[in-house]
Each structure stands twice: as structure tokens, then as C-alpha cells.
């Protein structure tokens, strides 16, 4: 669970999680919404992927990032995660 806490501690990664709540996006689609470099966005995506908060799948020749169906790692049962949507959106402009 330390990996998850570290992953969502960064405001950029929280914004990415909010962006992915409605469906999958490519790394390019995610990167174009930020004023940081694409390699920086890729590093954020890697942290989220390694913590289990997002997964990537190939769709043709392009990778698509999405949230796994099991919401948060280590969560038991069908309950919603304890992080509420308004908490995640607090950092959005």
C-alpha cells in the first residue's frame, strides 16, 4: 500500500487518475493536457502502472492507459475507494 500512497501523493498523478476515470487514453492524449514534457508524463504513468493504479494495453500500435477494474490494490469487496472524487479534483485548475 506504500506504493499506492506514494503514487497518489503527486498532483500530476492524481490528475491523470481523474482523467482516466471515464475511459482509456493514450500517453499522447494524456501528455497534451499538461505543460510538462512527454517523458515526464511517461514517468508519472510508469509510477501509476507499477503501483497497480493504472494498466496499459496495446490497441493496434498505440498503448492505451486505463484504470483496472479492481479500483485500488488491496481493497476488499465492492466498496468504493476511500478517496472521493472531490479530493482528486481539488488539484485541477
Give the tens place of pLDDT for each residue, 47-93.
999 998 998 877 666 667 787 765 544 443 333 443 444 444 444 44
| Mean local confidence (pLDDT), 27-53 | 92
State the pLDDT at residue 78.
39
CB 65 within 8 A of CB 54: yes
Considering only residues 73 and 44, tell me which one the structure prediction assigns the higher pLDDT: 44
State the pLDDT at residue 48.
93
CATH fold of 2-68 reads Arc Repressor Mutant, subunit A (1.10.10)
Which pairs count as long-range contacts for 83-92, CB under 8 Å and 24+ apart, including other chains? 83/8, 85/18, 85/21, 88/14, 88/17, 88/18, 89/18, 91/11, 91/14, 91/15, 92/15, 92/18
State the pLDDT at residue 83.
42
| Mean local confidence (pLDDT), 32-56 | 91
Amino acid at each position: 500500500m506504500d506504493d499506492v500512497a506514494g503514487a497518489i501523493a503527486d498532483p500530476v498523478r492524481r490528475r491523470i487518475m481523474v482523467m482516466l476515470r471515464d475511459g482509456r487514453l493514450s500517453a499522447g492524449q494524456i501528455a497534451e493536457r499538461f505543460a510538462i514534457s512527454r517523458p515526464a508524463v511517461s514517468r508519472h504513468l510508469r509510477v501509476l502502472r507499477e503501483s497497480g493504479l493504472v494498466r496499459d494495453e496495446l490497441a493496434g500500435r498505440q498503448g492505451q492507459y486505463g484504470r483496472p477494474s479492481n479500483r485500488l490494490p488491496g481493497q476488499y469487496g465492492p466498496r468504493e475507494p476511500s478517496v472521493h472524487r472531490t479530493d482528486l479534483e481539488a488539484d485541477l485548475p
